[in-house]
Amino acid sequence: MKSLKMLFWAVICSIAMPATAQNQPQKSQSKAQMNVQKFASTLYLIENFYVDTANSDKVVEDAIVAALKELDPHSAYISKKDVEKANEPLVGSFEGIGVTYQLIRDTITVISPVAGGPSEKVGIMTGDQFIKIDGEDAFGKKIDNEYVQKRLRGKKGTKVTVSVKRGNDKELLDFEIIRDKIPLNSINAAYMLDKHVGYIKLDRFAQESTQEFKEAFAKLQAQGMESLIFDLRGNTGGYLNTAIELVDQFLTENQLIVFTEGIHSPYQEWRCTKDGLYTTGKLVVLIDEGSASASEILSGAIQDHDRGIVIGRRSFGKGLVQRPFNLPDGSQIRLTTSRYHTPSGRCIQRPYEKGAEDYAKEMTKRLEHGEYYHADSIHFPDSLKYKTDGGRTVYGGGGIMPDIFIPVDTAYNSKLYTNLVRKGALNRFTTDYGLKHRDEIKSHYRDFDSFNKDFIVGQDLVNGLKAAAEEAKVEWNDEQFKRSEKFLLLQIKALIARNVWETQQYYQVMSSADSGVQKALEVLGSEKTYKNLLKRK
């Protein structure tokens, strides 16, 4: 921070004036210059006249953080030691609890749990706010990236307990998370759903995502893929260049992908450079409220050019462009400089004029308004109406509204299921079972496909789960079990498959109960339905 302080000293020296002149600003001085002098002079006064010893490094950092909070929800300051860590989810690997988070109003807010990571396994969800970590309050002015990293990262196998506020629940939810190595391959699954339809799930737009996609696509194409389901649910975004490269795989040369504009950032657009890998086959893109930024660039471009069908729920609505600016001491400001717009002109960013606190409650408000369950609860004014290439009506105003709405599965609403996941009983039981019976399962079933077809979750496994529930102090309720039985039994099977094989096998098992995937298969299976959805409305 010494170099930053030296910068302020230099500013003071360069703009210092006699006291009489300081009281009467000259017309030649710009407002920006006066503000710089004002801030630098304040630091000088604190350094030289404050009653106690002041930590000027902290004063400067706190001032920067406070200033950025006044701008928008996504402009951020990153200290020198956090710059490298901030990029890890896109370029490297680490050991920890596995969540993508953001500090909103000094509260750790989960953007998305890493697929297959420790947090997802115990039931941490998008929108959860960490209120306590290991019994200590984890909110307020003391919370910064360093605080979060120190308490949530750690060696594989070590334990951390968190108390979470979820939605409007008055009681905090307690979770025990065992840290693990967080896998950073950006594609979680790539497999054939049937003889003709391939499925690829992208977790984030990372440095190597385009290459990963090309390899996955080639594998599925060799297996006879004619139609593709591209799953971006829970994908919080990543590199703009990666998003552009992936859109390039679906569109044809010179088609507009995205454009940006800002008061100090002139109009800039990105277009496809050449025909991609998959420009004519049937395509479905899956999105939900956890799909943000780069996910919205891709799904918006696909929708605006009538290239495929978007299925799911309204996306997150993060369309502010952050440009990194390095400060003299190695720290960084990621400053919002412009807004993303889809090819039709829609602004992806949802409103934030009511402040960061209101912005952070957006997902809770969507739940309260019934948006997760009923498409007709979402109303768009005519002023936000846009047209796709083919004349279909789409709407701006924040996020991408899908062509086909899929409500949240009510099986998740069972208190028994929630508690089994939240208290780790479901994960511990299936993990223990998978480890104990792995060799037996692999010897009995010649491969995963055989397991997926023939393995049945019988009463013995239900009894084992009951015992795990009792051990975790989860009250077993037969009525609630019946409500979630079909989904819960399938999840037991999927989690066992994940523990015996890999994460991809979890998705393969769950696909039969995945309403988004099943609707996509229905649409792709009917040429008439697919074409009608892309016609002018």
For 44-76, b/e burial (b = at least 16 CB within 10 A) is beeeeeeeeeeebeeebbeebbeebbeebbbbb
Per-residue model confidence (pLDDT) at position 432: 80
Query: Is residue 94 helix, strand or coil?
Result: strand
Distances (CA, A) of 62 to 55, 78, 171: 11, 11, 32
- 462: phi then psi, degrees, rounded to nearest 5: -60, -45
Distances (CA, A) of 347 to 176, 214, 255: 40, 29, 18
Give dist(CA 176, CA 155) in Å, integer.
Answer: 15
Q: Tell me which residue has tokens 């079990």.
A: 481
Mean pLDDT to the nearest integer, 508-532: 96
Crossing angle (nearest 10°) for helices 2-15 and 56-69: 80
Distances (CA, A) of 95 to 41, 84, 92, 209, 421: 43, 15, 11, 21, 22
The full DSSP string for 380-395 is: --GGGEEE-TTS-EEE
**461 or 5, greater pLDDT:** 461
Give dist(CA 144, CA 81) in Å, integer.
Answer: 12
Mean pLDDT to the nearest integer, 343-369: 86
Report the chain's C-alpha Rg in angstroms: 26
Q: Is residue 148 scored above 50 in pLDDT?
A: yes
User: Exposed/middle/buried for 406, CB within 10 Å: 0-12, 13-18, 19+?
Assistant: buried
Crossing angle (nearest 10°) for helices 240-247 and 294-304: 30
Question: By percentage, how much of the chain surpasses pLDDT 70?
Answer: 91
Strand 99-104 and strand 393-395: the pairing is unpaired
**41 or 287, greater pLDDT:** 287
Give dist(CA 175, CA 160) in Å, integer.
Answer: 8
3-7, 225-229, 378-382, range with the lowest pLDDT: 3-7
Alpha helix ranges (H) inside 188-316: 209-222, 240-247, 294-304
Per-residue model confidence (pLDDT) at position 105: 65
Mean pLDDT to the nearest integer, 1-9: 45
pLDDT bracket for residue 278 (50, 70, 90): very high
Strand 404-405 and strand 309-312: the pairing is parallel
Number of H helices, E strands in the chain: 20, 21
Mean pLDDT to the nearest integer, 237-247: 94
Mean pLDDT to the nearest integer, 502-531: 95
Contact 136, 190 (CB under 8 A): no
Per-residue model confidence (pLDDT) at position 145: 84
51-65, 103-117, 390-404, range with the lowest pLDDT: 103-117
Query: Is residue 130 helix, strand or coil?
Result: strand
Query: Is residue 478 helix, strand or coil?
Result: helix
Crossing angle (nearest 10°) for helices 478-500 and 425-444: 50
Contact 253, 305 (CB under 8 A): no
Per-residue model confidence (pLDDT) at position 504: 92
This prediction's pTM: 0.77
pLDDT bracket for residue 409 (50, 70, 90): confident
Closest C-alpha among 176, 97, 173 to residue 134: 176
Mean pLDDT to the nearest integer, 81-103: 75
What average pLDDT does the structure give for the chain?
88
Q: Tell me which residue has tokens 């000259």.
A: 26
> Which segments of 232-329 are extended strands (E)?
256-262, 265-271, 282-287, 309-312, 320-326
Q: Which amino acid is at 258?
A: V
Structure tokens at 303: 């929708």
Contact 270, 244 (CB under 8 A): yes
Closest C-alpha among 339, 351, 362 to residue 289: 362
pLDDT bracket for residue 537 (50, 70, 90): low
Contact 150, 144 (CB under 8 A): no
For 367-388, b/e burial (b = at least 16 CB within 10 A) is beeebbeeeeebeeeeeeebeb
Mean pLDDT to the nearest integer, 149-161: 91
Greatest mean pLDDT among 40-49, 290-299, 404-413:
290-299
pLDDT bracket for residue 16 (50, 70, 90): very low
Give dist(CA 154, CA 162) in Å, integer.
Answer: 14
Question: By percentage, how much of the chain surpasses pLDDT 90?
Answer: 56
Per-residue model confidence as pLDDT tens digits over 194-231: 999 999 999 999 988 999 999 999 999 999 999 999 99
Per-residue model confidence (pLDDT) at position 12: 40
Give dist(CA 116, CA 264) in Å, integer.
Answer: 41
pLDDT bracket for residue 89 (50, 70, 90): low
pLDDT bracket for residue 438 (50, 70, 90): confident
How crowded is residue 188: how many other Cβ atoms within 10 Å of its Cβ? Answer: 22
**162 or 83, greater pLDDT:** 162
Q: Is residue 18 scored above 90 in pLDDT?
A: no
Q: Is residue 108 scored above 70 in pLDDT?
A: yes
Q: Is residue 423 scored above 90 in pLDDT?
A: no
Give dist(CA 399, CA 237) in Å, integer.
Answer: 13
**Longest C-alpha distance within the chain, in Å?**
90
Q: Is residue 88 scored above 80 in pLDDT?
A: no
Q: Is residue 3 scored above 70 in pLDDT?
A: no
How crowded is residue 512: how many other Cβ atoms within 10 Å of its Cβ? Answer: 12
